[in-house]
Structure 1
């Protein structure tokens, strides 16, 4: 298998590094390109055997899978550049939520899919959210998910839920890290505990909590019930949190969805041109 990546920014580099570190791909199986070629070269140097190209067309030649790890408004230009060179048996995979499968199907002559990765893939964990066009056969879906399974749990979703599942899986780590940072900062400010020690304790707590909610088979409600004794310290604090955070996550979801609709409108406009 040969896999190409157009775009080696934050998420592109996460996927590349994770696939290599997990053993899913050898560096020699990967070809990469980036608008700033020097950035692609740096990644190739980090993984001897990987090939970096200054030209996107050269990077995708002969590849089975082509990941487009670029910003939404860059898609139309990149697609215009590679469209004539893409072969029907190749699969192009967008990792960008506002770019719809319909956009890709209309402008590309090949199989198309969408995968939303997560920073948790760096630790070979978390989910990869998978969506496919009708052109992608079952065995081809299994091939892609087999690759992703080395760094995540591939989960097939309906494209209409792209934004909310991205909030939970892809944006969620940043949201949880923000809350953890606030918890640690308050602990340091209120008690004077060493910040590094507080970060270590809180981070291990978050790791263990995640394991209880996955491998341990607990639900969030079950975990709270097990920790909280009626009338105790945890119960009192949970009541305060419930009051203070009332509606916060509803507003968070409305914020991410509003930005998604804004980006989607811009993407639609970029693809709505006379051919």
Structure 2
């Protein structure tokens, strides 16, 4: 399937590289544009056959499926840029969570979806959040998921839960990487263990824990209980975590939702003009 990417920044380039690495797409099946031509030129150099074009118009004309990988406040102008060249048989997929499906469908005559990737997709793992527009049939859904299944686990969600699901799936790697970083630093400060060794041990622990929770049949509660012996060392450590972290993740979700609401308001104001 000829696939276009408008925007090749952090997530756009991650998707391109992941699709190529997984053999889901060949470089010659990809057309890409960026407001900074040097960025997309670097991708074309790295993946011979990938077509770097100077305008969003060319992406729209040459692609059956188009990923919009731009910032929330840029997407309105991108939509207006490509609108005259979009036809009903195409797919336009936004990875920008504050832009609503209804807004996209109001400006575009084609099939529309919203997919929220995660940095974990770079390792051909993790989830891809899926929200489908009203023109997407079951066959369209299967076609989209057949592609993204090569780099992730597609999980359909309600658009009303895009923010919290993104926090868990897409922001989560940063949150837990920070916790792991602090875990390792504390180990160094308290014991003198080498930092690289501490990071390796903690990282392998996190990998194994993820497998236990996804493939091993454990729920988080069951895994915690399995490791924790009443009155033991783990139980004592958990007392500190419970004391210090109670309510902290509530505050995290409150903050991310506040930021999200602010962005939705700004995007909606653009669409109302």
- Global fold match (TM > 0.5): yes
1:195 maps to which residue?
195
When normalised by structure 2's length, the TM-score is 0.99
Aligned partners of 1:29 and 1:50 also within 8 Å? yes
CA shift digits 1:167-204 (9 cap, x unpaired): 10010011010100010111111111111111111110
Structure-1 separation of matches of 2:60 and 2:194: 50
Give unmatched runs, 5+ long, in structure 2.
none
**Does residue 25 of structure 2 align to residue 62 of structure 1?**
no
Structure-1 separation of matches of 2:90 and 2:15: 19
1:90-101 map, 5 Å:
90-101=90-101
When normalised by structure 1's length, the TM-score is 0.98
2:186 maps to which residue?
186
2:41 maps to which residue?
41
1:39-188 map, 5 Å:
39-188=39-188
Shift in Å at residue 108 of structure 1?
1.0
Aligned partners of 2:59 and 2:66 also within 8 Å? no
1:225 maps to which residue?
225
**Does residue 39 of structure 2 align to residue 29 of structure 1?**
no
Q: Count residues with an aligned counterpart.
A: 273
Q: For the aligned residues, what is the CA RMSD?
A: 0.7
Structure-2 separation of matches of 1:101 and 1:198: 44
1:246 maps to which residue?
246
Structure-2 separation of matches of 1:217 and 1:60: 44
Aligned partners of 1:163 and 1:260 also within 8 Å? yes
Structure-1 separation of matches of 2:236 and 2:64: 56
Aligned partners of 1:111 and 1:136 also within 8 Å? yes
Structure 1 residue ranges, 4+ long, deviating more than 3 angstroms after superposition: none
